Amino acid sequence: MTTGLQISNVTKYYAEGSNRISALEKVSISVEPGELVAVVGPSGSGKSTFLSIAGALLKASEGEVNLNGHLLAKLSDKELSNVRLKEIGFIMQSSNLVPYLNVLDQLLLVKRMSGKVKAADRTFAVKLLEELGLGSKLKSYPEELSGGEKQRTAIARALINNPNVILADEPTASLDTKRAHEVVSLIANEVKSRRKAAIMVTHDERMLEYCDKVYRMEDGKLSLAETTRLASAAESGSFF
């Protein structure tokens, strides 16, 4: 079975009155297990549309998305929601934690949504939280956590169902530099050690050092950024 994420020639049109605007044009990318790729690009270039299609939240107008061996266009709505729950871990800009659940229960809630919570699930949740430096915070509520701790809880929550694909949308948007490095290096470690295929949309050039490849989205077209161009552009601040 093919694993990871393969997106081939995906085009997305939005209807706007009688016009249609094309938000993505023949976008192709392949992300292997254990690989973390970044997607950068200006506002309105198509990054959110791209991540929504990769995450089975939006259907492509043309082209093919193969997620972990599933051709998304062939799945029913029920099958798609199952794929989102069990095979994709989403990490968003803000951690979106449930205010009245403690850290451990944030993870167990996700397990509960996909079936009964077993003793092994609880053990795995504790292990993940310890791995992410939250071993002493299992019983803490979101309001008692720092921004970085909240985002680390969100990373653990994204991993609790052991998905093969991780999609992160600006995961450092609400963090200071130190916390941002902490969070992205933890994402990179989990991606490597647990062999996830991961895409991170980011505006934050400081985070690119953790990524295996950097792609640039411009006017709905995705291209691999050349390392040399990237380094010099990031230095001059012209890349974003």
DSSP string across 6-40: EEEEEEEEEEETTEEEEEEEEEEEEE-TT-EEEEE
Calpha distance 74→114 (Å, rounded): 22
Interactions with ligand ATP, residue window 3-22 (CB under 6 A): 14, 16, 21
Q: Assess contact for 207 and 200: CB atoms under 8 A.
A: yes
Point out which span in 36-44, 66-74, 76-84, 221-229 binds ligand ATP (CB under 6 A).
36-44
> Which of 171, 156, 21 is CA-nearest to residue 89?
156
In the sheet that holds 62-67, the strands lie side by side as 19-31, 5-16, 62-67, 70-71
| Contact call for residue 46 and ligand ATP (CB under 6 A) | yes
The amino acid present at 46, given as its one-letter code, is G
Residue from the set 4, 27, 40, 47 that interacts with ligand ATP by CB under 6 A: 47
Work out whether 44 is an interface residue with ligand ATP (CB under 6 A). Answer: yes
Among 5, 7, 10, 23, binds ligand ATP (CB under 6 A): 23
φ, ψ for residue 37, nearest 5 deg: -115, 145
> Of the ranges 41-49, 103-111, 124-132, 227-235, which one interacts with ligand ATP (CB under 6 A)?
41-49
Token duo for residue 163 = 């998905």
| Residues 80-109 close enough to bind ligand ATP by CB under 6 A | none
Query: Among 43-51, 75-83, 150-158, 222-230, which window interacts with ligand ATP (CB under 6 A)?
Result: 43-51
Nearer to ligand ATP, 63 or 142 (CB): 63
Residue 49 near ligand ATP by CB under 6 A: yes
Query: Is 216 near ligand ATP (CB under 6 A)?
Result: no
Torsion over CA of 25, 28, 33 and 34, rounded to 10 degrees?
-80
Q: Is 43 in the site for ligand ATP (CB under 6 A)?
A: yes
By the criterion CB under 6 A, which residues form the site for ligand ATP?
Answer: 14, 16, 21, 23, 41, 43-49
